[in-house]
Amino acid sequence: MYSCKINLAGKYSYLTEKFTAGLKWLSENDIRKFPDGKHEIPGTDLFADVQTYDSKPENDCRFESNHEHFDIQYVAEGREYFCVHPAEDIAVAESHPERDTYFHEKPESYGRVLLSSGDFIIVSPEEAHMPKCAVKFPEKVRKVVIKVKA
């Protein structure tokens, strides 16, 4: 699943080799057996960041974006709300270009998707996103974020 503005629909192909390689790696590996941290995906220029954390109240979460990478965010265990909003519509509050990470002010309204075990979402560089939001109460989440060069 992905969503974007119609004027961006033709800008990227989500079926190119780099996306299919990332999704194939996810389907062939049990992420729960990987230690937290960065893992190169063999035969590609992709890497996966395996994470374990407790989701948190939405007010404690931050919007972020990346200028040079897409994210494929896959929940292996647990569930969380994943919020999205066009990055161009919200001010950057903090920049870390060396990590390709930009934190944004929280907009007044935004979209929210429920991600449960086995779900993934693809986020483009034009989309600010706020992961790790608790559904009803904080719970353990096991996730992998695959970084795909834009």
* 59 contacts: CB under 8 Å, gap ≥ 6: none
Q: How far is CA 104 from CA 4, 31, 95, 112, in A?
A: 18, 29, 9, 16
Q: Provide mean pLDDT across the span 43-55.
A: 95
Q: pLDDT for 69-115, tens place per residue? A: 999 999 999 999 999 999 999 999 999 999 999 999 999 999 999 99
User: In degrees rounded to 5, what are phi and psi of residue 57?
Assistant: -55, 140
Q: Could you tell me if residue 136 is inside a domain?
A: yes
pLDDT classification of 148: cutoffs 50, 70, 90: very high
Domain span holding position 61:
6-33+41-149
pLDDT classification of 145: cutoffs 50, 70, 90: very high
pLDDT classification of 6: cutoffs 50, 70, 90: low
Q: Could you tell me if residue 80 is inside a domain?
A: yes
Which residue type does 14 have? Answer: Y
The SS3 of residue 2 is coil
CATH number of the domain at 78, please: 2.60.120.370
- The burial class, CB within 10 Å (0-12 / 13-18 / 19+), for 73 is buried
The SS3 of residue 97 is helix
Q: Could you tell me if residue 1 is inside a domain?
A: no
Number of domains in the chain: 1
Look up residue 106 and give its two tokens.
């929280």
